[in-house]
Chain A
Amino acid sequence: MIVIAKELVKQLLKKPFTNLFPAKYAPKSIKQFLRDAKEGKVKLNPPVVVPPNFRGKIEYDEKKCIRCKLCTRVCPAKALEYVEKENIIKYHLFRCAFCGQCVDVCPTGALKLTKEFLLAGYKKD
C-alpha cells in the first residue's frame, strides 16, 4: 500500500506518460479539426517516432518491377495480386499484414517498406 502510494504521488508530480497524439482532448468535430490542421490553424501533436527498419506501408515502384510474381506467392495475406489485363501488380493495403516478406523476395527492389503507419482513410483503396 505504501509502495504504490509513493509511486503514485511521484507520478502526480510528473507529466502524464500518455502520448498525446494527435490532440490532448477529443475535438468537438473531428472533420473540422482535421481541416483546421491542414490549414495550420491548430497544431497536431506528432506521433511516436518509429525506429529504423520499421515495417509500415509498402511502396510499389511500377517501373522497376519485372513482373516475376514472386511477391504474390509469398504474401501470406494475398495482399499483392497480379492483374493480367493491365500487366500490373496490385497492392491491397487493407489486406496487408505488413510482414515485409515481399520486400525480402523482390529481386529488383521495386517494393520498399516505408515508415508510414497512419493508414486510416475514407476510401478503401
Chain B
Amino acid sequence: MKKIADTGNEQNSFTFCVGPVHPALKEPLQFTFKIEGERVKKVDFMLSHVHRGIEWMGTRRNPIQIIYLAERICGICNISHPFAFCRAVESVAGIEVPPRAEYIRTINAELERIHSHLLWAGIAAHELGFDSVLHYILKARERVLDIIEYITGNRITKGIMMIGGVRRDISKKQYRKIIEAMEYYKKQVKKISDILLKDHVVKARTINTGILSKADAIKLCAVGPTARASGVKRDVRQDEPYAAYKYLDVEAITPATIGKETRGDVYDRTLVRLAEIRQSVNIIVECLKSMPEGKIAYEDKIPKLLAELKSVEGEGIGRHEAPRGEVLHYIKLIGNETLFSWKVRAPTYANLLSWVPMLLGAQIADIPIIAASTDPCLSCTNRAVITKHGKHVVIDHEALHELSVKKTLALRKVKHD
C-alpha cells in the first residue's frame, strides 16, 4: 500500500502531511507530500487506520448472517456489498433468482447509486469551499432516502437483500411515489448540473485539475466513474449484464458518450457522475414499467434455505457495479454452516493508485478535491494492518509473497485434516 513517485529536488521543498485526521478527509488516511511553494512534488500515502476484521468475522457466521455484515462494510454502498455477496453464494449453490426479485434488486441498487452520487457531489462542493451547494444537494438527497425508507424500512441500512431474492416486495401502491420522486430528480439533477458544470468559478477550479490519462487509468486498473471519466468504457452492468440489467440496455457513460471532450479531470468525473444519476433515474422508471409479477425469493423460509446452504461446497465470485466502481466478493464454502473463506475487494482499493498521477503537480488547494474525486471509501478498503510491536510496518512485494505462500500452505493443511 505504498507508492512513491519521485520528482523534483530536495532543496526548498518541505514535507506536508494531510491526515490521518484532517477536515478534508472524511475517513482516516495519511498523505505525505513533498511541497515546493504550493506545488506537490512527491506523493506518498498510507492506509489501514480503520481495519475492522470483517472478513475474519465472516468466517464465524452463516451466509445469511453475513448478508447483514456485508451491508455494514460500507454505509453508502450497502446494497452493493450484499448484492455481490448474494451473487457469489448463488453462483456456488446454483440458486436461480426469480425475475421479479432481480428487478427489485436493480431498483434498489440504482436508488443507492442516486443517493451515493448526490452525496459525492455535495462533498465535492464542500471540498471546493462551496458549502451552499453541499446543503442544497443534501436537501435534494433527502427525497431518495425517504423513498428508500419507504421501500425497505430504513434509510441507510436497507436489509433488503436475501440469498436467492429479496426480502420485501414493491407493491403497486408504492409505484406512484417512486415515479414522482424520479420526476423530481430529473428536474433537480438538471439544476445541480447547471450549478456544478456551468458555473465559471467551479469550472476554473475543476477543469484540468487532477488529470488521469486513459493509459494511466488502464494501467492502474481504475474502476467505476474514475475510469469512465478518463474514457475507459468499463462497467459491469454493460460488460457482464446481470440481474435486471440483462433485460435493459445499459451503456457505460464516458464523457464521449455525452458528447463532451474527455480530459480525465475532476470536471469529467463530476460530469460522469451526474450523467449516471440521470441514467439511474431512467433505469428505475424502465424497471417499474416492465417488472413482471411473481415470486420475490427462491425460498421464503430462512431455516430451510440455511439447511440447503449447509451442504453446499465450492467457490464463487460475485460482481456488482457499485456507485464507486466494481465490487467483487469471493467466497469458499466447504459444506459447513459457516464460510470457509470470504474476500472482499471494494472499488476504492482499485482506485487508490490513480491518486498518484492525479496529485503530482497539483496545488495544495486541489488536494482535497482530487482526493475526494475518486469517491474514496477507506474503511471498506482496509483489509489488513501489519503491526510489529504495536507499530505500523510496511511490507514490500517479496515479503508479502512469502507470507502468502505460507498462508496458502497452512490453509491447505487445514483442509486436508
Chain A positions within 8 Å of B, measured between CB atoms, are: 1, 3-4, 7-8, 11, 17, 50-51, 53-55, 70, 73-77, 97-101, 104-105, 113
Contact = CB atoms under 8 A, between A and B. Distances in A.
A77 B159 CA distance: 13
Nearest to B133: A4
Contact of B61 (A3, A76, A113): A76
B65 A75 contact: yes
A73 B304 CA distance: 12
Contacts, number: 76
Given A3-B195, A4-B133, A74-B65, A100 B159 contact: yes
Contacts of A74: 64-65, 302-303, 306
A70 B72 CA distance: 23
A1 B201 contact: yes
A70 B67 CA distance: 17
Contacts of B149: 50-51, 54
A98 B156 CA distance: 11
A55 B201 CA distance: 44
B68 interface: yes
A91 to B, nearest CB: 17
Nearest to B198: A3
Contact of B157 (A4, A50, A54, A97): A97
B64, B72, B154, B201: which has the most chain A beta carbons within 10 Å? B154
B387 interface: no
Interface in B168-218: 168, 191, 194-195, 198-201
A104 B65 CA distance: 14
B154 A76 contact: no
A51 B178 CA distance: 14
B364 interface: no
22 contacts: A3-B195, A3-B198, A3-B199, A4-B132, A4-B195, A7-B136, A50-B149, A51-B153, A53-B168, A54-B153, A55-B153, A74-B65, A74-B303, A76-B68, A97-B157, A97-B159, A98-B157, A99-B68, A99-B157, A99-B159, A100-B159, A101-B68
Contacts of A55: 153-154, 159
B69 interface: yes
Nearest to B300: A104
B64 A17 contact: no
Contact of B303 (A8, A50, A54, A70): A70
Given A74-B303, A99-B68, 19 more contacts: A1-B199, A3-B199, A4-B133, A4-B136, A7-B195, A51-B149, A55-B153, A70-B302, A73-B303, A74-B306, A76-B66, A76-B67, A77-B68, A97-B157, A98-B154, A98-B157, A100-B153, A105-B303, A113-B153
